[in-house]
Amino acid sequence: MSKQRVVVVGNGMVGHKFIDNLVNDTDADQYEIVTFSEEPRLAYDRVQLSSYFSGATAEDLAMTDEGYYNDKGVNFVLNDKVSELNTTENYVVTESGRKESYDKLVLATGSFPFVPPIPGNDQEHCLVYRTIEDLEAISASAKQSKVGVVVGGGLLGLEAANALKAAGLETHVVEFAPRLMAVQLDEGGGTLLRRKIEDLGVNVHTEKATSEIVAGETCRYRMNFADGSHLETDMILFSAGIRPQDELARQFDLEIGERGGIVVNDNCQTNVDNVYAIGECALWEGRIYGLVAPGYTMAKVAVSHITGGADQFKGADMSTKLKLLGVDVASIGDAHGNTPGAQSYTYNDEIEQVYKRLIVSEDGKKVLGAVLVGDVEAYGNLLQLMLNDMDLPENPAGLILPAGDGEAAAGLGVDALPDSAVICSCYDVTKGDLQKAVAEGATDMGGIKAATEASTGCGGCAALAKQVLDSELANLGYEVKNDICEHFAYSRQELADIVRIKKIKTFDELLESHGQGLGCEVCKPAVGSILASFWNDYVLEDAHIGLQDTNDIFLGNMQKDGTYSIVPRVAGGEITPDKLIVLGEVAKEFDLYTKVTGGQRIDLFGAQLHELPIIWKKLVDAGFETGHAYGKSLRTVKSCVGSTWCRYGVNDSVGFAINLEDRYKGLRSPHKIKFAVSGCTRECAEAQCKDIGVIATENGWNLYVCGNGGMRPRHGDLFATDLDDETLIKYVDRVLMFYIRTADRLQRTSVWLENLEGGLDYLKEVVIDDKLGLGEELEAEMEASLGNYQCEWKTTIENPEKLKRFQHFINTKEGDDSLAYVVERGQRRPATKEERIQSVELVD
Amino acid sequence: MSNWITVCRQEDLSPSTGLCALHQGEQVAIFFCGQTSDLYAVSNYDPIGEANVLSRGLMGSLGDAVVVASPLYKQHFNLKTGECLEDPEHKLKTYPIRLESGEVQLQAA
C-alpha cells in the first residue's frame, strides 16, 4: 500500500508539534510528510522570543533541527510560501512554483501581528514582534535609537517592552484600553501590574489612541494621540494583537469566520474533509486560541483523526501564568467575574505589592476565575479547582491569603484531584500520566520529565507535579526516604549540613554521632567527598584513606585489569612543547598507552601500582600537577584558542580558562565538574554542554550553568549575560557551593538543577538576588576550601609512609604477574580473554 | 600442627583498608577493621572483574556482614565466608589469619 501524503503548511510551534506527533505515532511509516515554511528556519520557540535579547541565540530557541527531520524522513522546504491551494485536485503550489499533491492537508499558518491603520505606520523604524527576523530588525533599529514605544499593553506588548528595555532604550508602553493586560486582568490586577512595571522604569500610557505618526522634534518620530497629547520616540513596535493568517484559505474558498479564522470542527477539519487547520489560524466555535497549549492540543487531535483515533478538540482553558518584565502574573478562567451572580474575594497588599482576587460562583462553592499579580503561588491549586469543578474548601479566602506563622497555606491535596486532571498544559500531561510514570519507575522530577515531558515547557506546573510525584511514591508504599544508606538515616544534603555546621572533620566522628555499623562503599566516599569539599584536607590522611573510592585511594583511574591511568593537569588545554616532550618521554619509558582526552589533556594508561610514584616524581619535577581525573572534583576547563590567535575571537578564552582552572582545581564535589570557555559565539569549546560554560561577548562573558554531555545530554541554561571576570567568578563560587551543599550523591549539576524546586529561576534568586542571604557565606566557604589546595601527588611522593601502599604486594617488590598485553596500532593494550588462552604474541 | 607465615607487621595495616600479600604463590587480600580490630584474608582475585584487585576495594558492613566492595564493579564479598552477596555462585577462597606479637600471619597450606 502506498503511503499517504501529508502536507503541512507552516512550520511554527504548532505545525512542528503536529509533525512530531505524527512521526512518533505507531503508524508513522504509513505517512509521507512534506512541510513548508515561509521563514528561513524550522520551528522555534516563539514563547521565549524575548530571551533572544538576553543572549539566547536562534539555535537556543530552535525546537527541532534539520537532522531530526532527515532522520524521521520529513521533507521540508524553507523560505517558500504556499500561495495556491486546490481542494478539488488536492494540491498546493508555492511562490517559487513548486507543486505538491496531498492526501491530507494541514494548515498551521499561525497568525500575523495586527498593525493599527494609523497614518505613518509604515516608516522604517515602525516594526512588529513575531519572528526571529523581526527581532533582528528590532535589534538593528534599537542600536540607532534612544527611545522606544510599544503600541499595545497586552501580554505580547509587555514582552516586547521587556526586549526594548533589555536593549537599553527608554521604554514606553502605549495602550488604548484603560489598563494593562485588559483581557486577562481586572482593574486591581492591572493597576498593580502598572505600578510594578513603572517601578522598573517603563513608562505606561493608558487610554491613548494614536492618530498619526509624524516626524519628531527631539526624536525620530512623534506620535500624536486623539486626546491632543503626544509622545516622541525613535522607534515604534506594534504589538496590538494578532490576526489569524487565513489568507490562503480565504483565497481558495475554505470557510472563514466573520472576523477571520479558518472554521474547524471538533476534529480540526475545515469544511473540506481532508483539509485541517490547527493553531492560531483556526477558528473553533467562533474562537481563536492565541496560546500555544490549545494549539498543541489541536495538533494532537488532527494527528488522532488522521490516524483513525477518537480525540476531539473541545475548547481549551485560556488560563495563563507568566513573568512579565520580572513580574509574576496569572489569570484564571472568568477573571472579570462576568458570570451572572459571581462573587469575589480580594486580597490587596500595597506594601508587598501583591494582588489576588478569587472569583467564585453564586453559591460560593466553585472557583470561576482568579487574578494574581506579584505572587502566583496559588495558581496551580486554583486552576485545578476550577478545571475539575471541585468544591471549594470551607474557608475559600484562605486560598489567597498569605500563610500565618506555622500554618501552611490552605490548599488542596493533590490526592483530591481526579486522574484526568491536566497537570502540565504545555504537554497535556494528566495526573494519571504522572502516576503511570511513577509506577513505571520514575522516582524523581528528572525521571518524571524524561518520561512525560511534564514541566519541560513553561515550567509552571513544577510544584504541582512534584506534589503528585511525592504523593504517588507514598501511595505506592515507597517511604519517601532519602537516606543515603543503611548506616546513616540522612540524605547527602543533610549529612553535608551536619558536617558543615558541626564542623565534623572525620568519618569516624560522623559515624559515631549520627550513624551505625561500619559504613559502606556508598556512605564512605560520599562522606569523604563532603569532608573534602568543606575542609579540603589531604585525602590520603589516615582518617580519610579508608573512605576513598577505587580511583581516589591511589590517585589514579583504575582500568579493567587493575592498572592505572595517569592524567596530569593541563590547564585550559595549553601546554608547552617542552612539557609535551616530558609526557612523551615518560610514556615511552614506562610503555604507557597514550591517548588524548576529550578535556584537552593526555591520558597515560597501564601503569602498575608500584610505578605510579616513580612516574609522578618525574612529572612533578617537570612542573606538572595532578589532574584530579580520578576524583569527583573539578576536571578540566576546556577552551578554544580565543582572541589571541583566532580571527573571530572577542576575548582571551585560554587565559580565562587557565584562571578558572587554577582557581577551582582540587575542589571536590558530589560528582565531577567540567567547565569550558569559548572566545566567541561560534562556541568552539562546546561550553553549553558543561557544568559551567562561559562564552565571550562584545561586553564580557555569558555564563551558562548545569549543562551536560555524556549519557543524558543537556544544554546549559543561560544564567547571566555580559559579566565581568569578578562577577562571573562570584556567581560560579555561589552556584558550585550551593550545588555542593544541596545535591544528592553522584548527582551531576544537570540533574540537580532539574530536581531543584523552583529550578533555574530559584537558582538565579539565590545566586544573583541573594534571596536567602547566603551569598557571602557560600563565597567564604569556597575561599576556605580553595585556600587548602595542594597537589595530592606532590604531597604523596614527599611522604615515605604513604608511599608504602604503592606496591602490589606488602611482602615483596614483585608486580602483578597476571597482567598480559598485546600490541595494537603501535601501542600495548590489555589482552582479551581469548588472546590469553591462545597466548598470541603477548608482550611483557 | 599448623605453620603460620608472617606476611607483614601490624604497623603496615591502615585501619579499614586492605593490602595484598604474596602467600605461597597466591595473592591474598588482607583487611583490618579499625573499629573492631578484626583481621580478614580472602583471595585478591575478583572472579567477576577478572583481575587481582580486591585488596584495593572499600571495606564496610551490610547488615551484620563485614564486606569488601570490588573496586571494579562494586559487588560485595563477605570477608568471613568469601561469598559474593549479589551472585552467591562466586565464592572467594578464605585464609586463616592471625596477629601474633605484632606480626600478621597467614596459615601455611
Q: DSSP class of residue A57?
A: -
Choose the closest CB to A810 out of B8, B60, B69.
Answer: B8
Residue A324: inside a domain, yes or no?
yes
- Domain end (from A306, A334, A359): A306
Q: Do A105 and A252 sit in the same domain of this protein?
A: yes
Q: Which residues of A touch B74 (CB under 8 A)?
A: 521
Give dist(CA B74, CA A524) in Å, integer. Answer: 13
Q: Pick from A359, A402, A405, A363: which is nearest to A382 by CA?
A: A359
Q: Do A43 and A156 sit in the same domain of this protein?
A: no
> Are A458 and A452 in contact, with CB atoms under 8 Å apart?
no
Q: Pick from A517, A493, A505, A446: which is nearest to A745 by CA?
A: A493
CB pairs under 8 A between A and B: 96
Q: Do A280 and A355 sit in the same domain of this protein?
A: no
Q: DSSP class of residue A172?
A: E
Q: Do A234 and A135 sit in the same domain of this protein?
A: yes
For residue B72, the chain A residue with the least C-alpha distance is A560
Q: Sketch the domain layout of chain B as residue ranges.
A: 4-99
Q: What CATH number did the domain enclosing A435 receive?
A: 1.10.10
CB contact under 8 A, B58 and A542: no
Between 2.40.160.40, 1.10.1740.10, 2.102.10.10, 1.10.10.10, what CATH number should domain B4-99 receive?
2.102.10.10
Choose the closest CB to A810 out of B21, B33, B50.
Answer: B21
Decide if B22 touches A, using CB distance below 8 A: yes
CB contact under 8 A, A517 and B52: no
Question: Of all helices (H) and strands (E), which one includes residue A283?
Answer: strand A282-284
For residue B18, the chain A residue with the least C-alpha distance is A546
Strand order across the A275-277 sheet? A75-77, A31-36, A4-9, A104-107, A275-277
Give the pLDDT score at A406. Answer: 37
For residue B36, the chain A residue with the least C-alpha distance is A518
Q: Do A638 and A776 sit in the same domain of this protein?
A: yes
Give dist(CA A218, CA A435) in Å, integer. Answer: 62
Q: Do A102 and A211 sit in the same domain of this protein?
A: no
Give the pLDDT score at A410. Answer: 43
Q: Pick from A312, A301, A296, A318: which is nearest to A16 by CA?
A: A296
For residue A814, the chain B residue with the least C-alpha distance is B22
CB contact under 8 A, A810 and B71: no
Q: What CATH number did the domain enclosing A399 receive?
A: 3.30.390.30
Residue A214: inside a domain, yes or no?
yes
Q: Do A683 and A748 sit in the same domain of this protein?
A: yes
Give dist(CA B106, CA B96) in Å, integer. Answer: 6
CB contact under 8 A, A818 and B52: yes
Q: Which positions 62-101 of B are in contact with A (Cβ < 8 Å)? A: 62-63, 66-67, 69, 71-72, 74
Residue A798: inside a domain, yes or no?
no
Choose the closest CB to B61 out of A518, A547, A562.
Answer: A518
- Min Cα–Cα distance to chain A from B62, Å: 7
- Domain end (from A255, A281, A306): A306
For residue B55, the chain A residue with the least C-alpha distance is A808
Length of chain A: 844
- Min Cα–Cα distance to chain A from B20, Å: 5
Phi, then psi, of A224 in degrees rounded to 5 = -95, 135
CB contact under 8 A, B53 and A518: no
For residue A559, the chain B residue with the least C-alpha distance is B72
> Are A125 and A237 in contact, with CB atoms under 8 Å apart?
no
Give the pLDDT score at A212. Answer: 93
- Residue range(s) defining the domain that contains residue A262: 4-112+244-306
Q: How many domains does chain A have?
A: 6
ipTM score of complex: 0.93
Q: Do A656 and A742 sit in the same domain of this protein?
A: yes
Residue A87: inside a domain, yes or no?
yes
Give the pLDDT score at A592. Answer: 97
CB contact under 8 A, B60 and A542: no
Give the pLDDT score at A509. Answer: 93
Q: What CATH number did the domain enclosing A213 receive?
A: 3.50.50.60
CB contact under 8 A, B74 and A814: no
Decide if B11 touches A, using CB distance below 8 A: no
Burial track B10-34 (b if 16+ CB lie within 10 A, e otherwise): eebbbebbbbbbbbeeebbbbbbbb
Q: Which residues of B touch A488 (CB under 8 A)?
A: none
Q: Which residues of B touch A814 (CB under 8 A)?
A: 22
Q: Which residues of A touch B63 (CB under 8 A)?
A: 486
Instruction: List average pLDDT for each run of 10 residues in chain A, which is 844 residues long.
Output: 89 95 90 94 86 80 90 92 93 93 95 91 91 90 93 88 88 92 89 91 93 93 94 93 91 90 96 95 92 90 93 87 83 90 90 91 91 88 86 83 51 71 82 89 82 77 81 74 85 91 92 91 93 92 90 94 96 97 97 96 96 96 96 96 94 97 96 96 94 95 94 89 96 96 91 86 92 91 93 94 91 90 94 81 60
Give the pLDDT score at A405. Answer: 40
Give dist(CA A221, CA A127) in Å, integer. Answer: 13
CB contact under 8 A, B58 and A558: no
> Are B73 and B49 in contact, with CB atoms under 8 Å apart?
yes
List of residues 6+ apart from A312 with CB closer than 8 A: A266, A267, A301
Give dist(CA A696, CA A707) in Å, integer. Answer: 17
Q: Do A107 and A34 sit in the same domain of this protein?
A: yes
CB contact under 8 A, B21 and A562: no
> Are A220 and A235 in contact, with CB atoms under 8 Å apart?
yes
Q: Do A659 and A781 sit in the same domain of this protein?
A: yes
Give the pLDDT score at A427. Answer: 79
Decide if B28 touches A, using CB distance below 8 A: no
Cα end-to-end distance, chain A, whole Å: 63
Give the pLDDT score at A429. Answer: 87
pLDDT tens digits for B50-94?
A: 999 999 999 999 988 999 999 998 899 999 999 999 888 999 999
Percent of chain B with pLDDT over 70: 99
Decide if A745 touches B, using CB distance below 8 A: no
Give the pLDDT score at B67. Answer: 95
Give the pLDDT score at A423. Answer: 85
Give dist(CA A74, CA A64) in Å, integer. Answer: 12
Mutate to test the interface with A, among B62, B68, B77 (most CBs of A within 10 A): B62
Q: Do A301 and A329 sit in the same domain of this protein?
A: no
Q: Which residue has the cell 536593549?
A: A167
Give dist(CA A36, CA A339) in Å, integer. Answer: 43
Q: Do A515 and A447 sit in the same domain of this protein?
A: no
Decide if A524 touches B, using CB distance below 8 A: yes
Q: Alpha carbon A281 to chain centroid distance? A: 29
Residue A666: inside a domain, yes or no?
yes
